[in-house]
Structure 1
Amino acid sequence: MSFNLLERTEPGRRRFGVALFVGIIAGIMSAFVKWGAEVPLPPRTFSGGRDEFNPPYLFLRDYLGIDPTHAVYTFSEHVINPVMVTHIIFSLVFAIGYCLVAEIFPKVKLWQGALAGIIATIAVHWISFPLLGLTPSLPNIPLDEYISELLGHIFWFWAIEMIRRDLRNRITHQPDAEVPLDAKFR
């Protein structure tokens, strides 16, 4: 038995419409998990003149020309910070992408989504954000930030995977695409 990260599912077993629908639900719900992880493990220090906004906010503002401050809203007499809206947007994008990719490449779900969380942390926070100037270079980021982002993303993708698997299986009444249909399933 070989271990192939690029192993693909049979095209006839893929359910992209379900993956899109489930990705939307998982994206919204997992945004709350990511926020919750940031309470005991704040992701950023604000020392050294760092911008008060998170990297997704800066990406939307500086690279896409979208001003997230227009998304401010009031709930229960509280003005909700637009930075929170960027978390939902990015959570939707990543959850939908993850759910669609999982239909083709089942190994992305390794360790119940934790592998995807690790890959997202490395690719986005440790490589892309410093290259785009959204965060300082790696040697200038405190260890606390590395730990917070890594654990937060692992929890985030674990939540996405739990939601993805449960809803996909409930909607299709079948196991995931890589699992034989005659396998014991519940």
Structure 2
Amino acid sequence: MKIKEFFVMTAPERRRYGVALFIGVISGILSAFVKWGAEVPLPPRTFSGGRDEFNPPYLFLKDYLGIDPTQAIFHFSEHIINPVHITHIIFSLTFAIGYCLVAEVFPKVKLWQGAMAGIIATVAVHWIFIPLMHLSPPLSGIPPDEYISELLGHIFWFWTIEMIRRDLRNRITRQPDPEVPLDSPFR
């Protein structure tokens, strides 16, 4: 596959941005729970080597937004809920809405049923951006199981977003994705 194929665009009249936005919200919320669930068997932090750092969402809230997550807690069903969890939902909403909107224009973003987007998000955010913001150590300072956990978790996360996106888009519009001809038997 050539690089220029990643920038092939769909016909503007086939794009449904309002539907993509609506589906992005739904898939963002649901996929946040999938990402949390993936962290049970594949914990993203080992705290090995004597490290005792907080997770990147906690540090982002504290260092960049001035919110101390340990002070901004609330209770639900006798459990203490930390706003870091809300941050995960906001991140999930942001990425899912962006993904669904981009998928309307650039169909190659859906490569491998969204798995490629999960790989790109992991590399860009967790392996480059978060270390550059000093929210985590550089990749060389993290045990391999931590970045493998993030990679697999993000692949599952984006795969879930894509499955929800495609199903709901096709049900709502009663049409295949914009790059698929309307008369195609492969809908």
Q: Fold-level match, TM-score > 0.5? A: yes
Cα displacement (A) at 1:106: 0.4
User: Residue 32 of structure 2 contacts residue 157 of structure 2 at CA under 8 Å; is this kept in 1?
Assistant: yes
The aligned counterpart of 1:44 is 45
Cα displacement (A) at 1:73: 2.7
TM-score (norm 1): 0.92
The aligned counterpart of 2:173 is 172
After superposition, the Cα gap between the structure-2 partners of 1:85 and 1:11, relative to the gap in structure 1 and judged at 3 Å, is same
TM-score (norm 2): 0.92
Which stretch shifts more, 96-105 or 60-69? 60-69
User: Residue 69 of structure 2 contacts residue 82 of structure 2 at CA under 8 Å; is this kept in 1?
Assistant: no
After superposition, the Cα gap between the structure-2 partners of 1:133 and 1:169, relative to the gap in structure 1 and judged at 3 Å, is same
After superposition, the Cα gap between the structure-2 partners of 1:68 and 1:19, relative to the gap in structure 1 and judged at 3 Å, is farther
User: Residue 28 of structure 2 contacts residue 161 of structure 2 at CA under 8 Å; is this kept in 1?
Assistant: yes
User: Residue 23 of structure 1 contacts residue 98 of structure 1 at CA under 8 Å; is this kept in 2?
Assistant: yes
Structure 2, unmatched stretches of 5+, are none
The aligned counterpart of 2:143 is 142
Cα displacement (A) at 1:70: 6.4
Read off the aligned partner of 1:49 and give its amino acid letter.
R
Read off the aligned partner of 2:153 and give its amino acid letter.
G
* CA deviations over 1:11-34 (Å, ceiling 9, x no partner): 111111101100000000000000
After superposition, the Cα gap between the structure-2 partners of 1:177 and 1:139, relative to the gap in structure 1 and judged at 3 Å, is same
Distance 2:168 2:67 in 1: 32
Which stretch shifts more, 159-168 or 38-47? 38-47
Distance 1:4 1:118 in 2: 18
After superposition, the Cα gap between the structure-2 partners of 1:7 and 1:66, relative to the gap in structure 1 and judged at 3 Å, is farther
Distance 1:175 1:68 in 2: 43
Q: How does 1:154-169 map to 2 (within 5 A)?
A: 154-169=155-170
The aligned counterpart of 1:86 is 87
Distance 1:73 1:146 in 2: 30
The aligned counterpart of 1:56 is 57
Read off the aligned partner of 1:132 and give its amino acid letter.
M
Identical-pair percentage: 76
* CA deviations over 1:127-172 (Å, ceiling 9, x no partner): 0011110110111011011110000000000000000001111111
Read off the aligned partner of 1:143 and give its amino acid letter.
P
Q: Does the alignment pair 1:20 with 2:21? A: yes
User: Residue 56 of structure 1 contacts residue 90 of structure 1 at CA under 8 Å; is this kept in 2?
Assistant: no
Q: CA RMSD in A?
A: 1.8
Q: How does 1:95-174 map to 2 (within 5 A)?
A: 95-174=96-175
Which stretch shifts more, 115-124 or 59-68? 59-68
User: Residue 70 of structure 1 contacts residue 82 of structure 1 at CA under 8 Å; is this kept in 2?
Assistant: no
Read off the aligned partner of 1:163 and give its amino acid letter.
I
